[in-house]
Structure 1
């Protein structure tokens, strides 16, 4: 066997090894990206449910809550009021109008049946609502609900965030808002928008 043939066989083996190695690297990267997207979709869905519950809670109680047990109890046994608003316009003698607003409470419906029905959320489990999906440590979302003063007015703010993102590239100090850990709301602004939107 001459040296050219030996060199060709060794080169072929090295090329085959590199091809398999690179294919495995690419496959692992694609699989990791798919897994990150899958887990983040679960986290976002959970955050949307929490946001919907917090908005309903604020509508009924006039504030957000930072207490998971209170929020879960509201979803389970709370009620939303069905109201009817109508305006009555009364013409005044001097050409102006007076508007009287009539508000009638028609009914009270359970939060669980109206906002979180089994048709809309078939797998809703209140015992796991506060827990970050696929979190190995079993950590809960961090919830912040307070009143702050904005332009001299007291307003409610809410922020719920994933403190331990599955995607390790999500950092709190990121310049891009959508590359920070998944969350909705803000501690300083009046918003319930999610940073994934």
Structure 2
């Protein structure tokens, strides 16, 4: 009887230990992996925004996006204020521009040169690898898509990159993973995906909380 009680005590003690230990380990693994994935999503957003700034559109092809980053250049410009004769007013009031008349202020943009997108923003980033998880044996990859939304009569490009939590936490306890997929807490990543951008609205925001932002304490 004593042996049985000791056995039951040990069994329930072990179950209690596992019930406390598993969530702690799960949270540690989740935090580490989420940070890696979010870093990639941020780089994808930066690459897409550079692509749109120069070409006017986003790219849903990671190889084309990588080629753009490797080869594209952006102009280095400087703006300065200047004044020129206001010809409409001078003509209206029959004023001589050489001896006086009205002037108007304008802003001139001077091109100083060109700089490589790769060297400026992505010197240590390999764009082609951004869809791959840096997690051993993780299935799948980050999804990258582009589309257009309409604002009145204007067709506006949008993009979305998202990572499935089931891929990121594929080797974690199923009950804890299922709970994570349904989480809606303020300091958590809501839903099934870690996402940046949107295909339904004009947005380049991510759905992660501030604690995952670059520079936040781990």
The TM-score bracket by the shorter chain reads: 0.7 to 0.9
Once residues 43 and 116 of structure 2 are traced to their aligned partners in structure 1, the CA distance between those partners, rounded to angstroms, is 16
Structure 1 stretch 159-168 or stretch 181-190: which is displaced more? 159-168
Pick from 180, 184, 191 the counterpart of residue 203 of structure 2.
Answer: 191
Q: Which stretches in structure 2 are left out of the alignment for 5+ residues?
A: 94-100, 170-176, 210-218
TM-score by length of 1: 0.78
3-state SS in 2 of match to 1:182: strand
Q: How many residues align?
A: 185
- What is residue 21 of structure 1 aligned with on the other side? 15
Structure 1 CA distance for aligned equivalents of residues 144 and 103 of structure 2: 46
Q: Which residue of 106, 118, 125 corresponds with 2:112? A: 106
| Residues 1:132 and 2:138 are matched in the alignment | no
Deviation at 1:126, TM superposition (A): 3.5
> Given the alignment, which residue of 57, 66, 69 partners 1:72?
66
Bigger mean CA deviation after superposition, 130-139 or 62-71: 130-139
Q: Which residue of 2 aligns with 1:38?
A: 32
SS state of the match for residue 13, structure 2?
Answer: helix
1:1-23, Cα deviation, whole Å (9 max, x unpaired): xxxxx44x543442233212311
Quote the Cα distance in structure 2 between the aligned partners of 1:37 and 1:96: 64
Q: CA RMSD in A?
A: 3.0
Q: Are the aligned partners of 1:132 and 1:162 in contact in 2 as well (CA < 8 Å)?
A: no
Q: Which runs of 5+ in 1 are unaligned?
A: 1-5, 119-123
Task: Identify the structure with bigger relative contact order (alpha carbons < 8 Å, sequence gap 6+).
Answer: 2
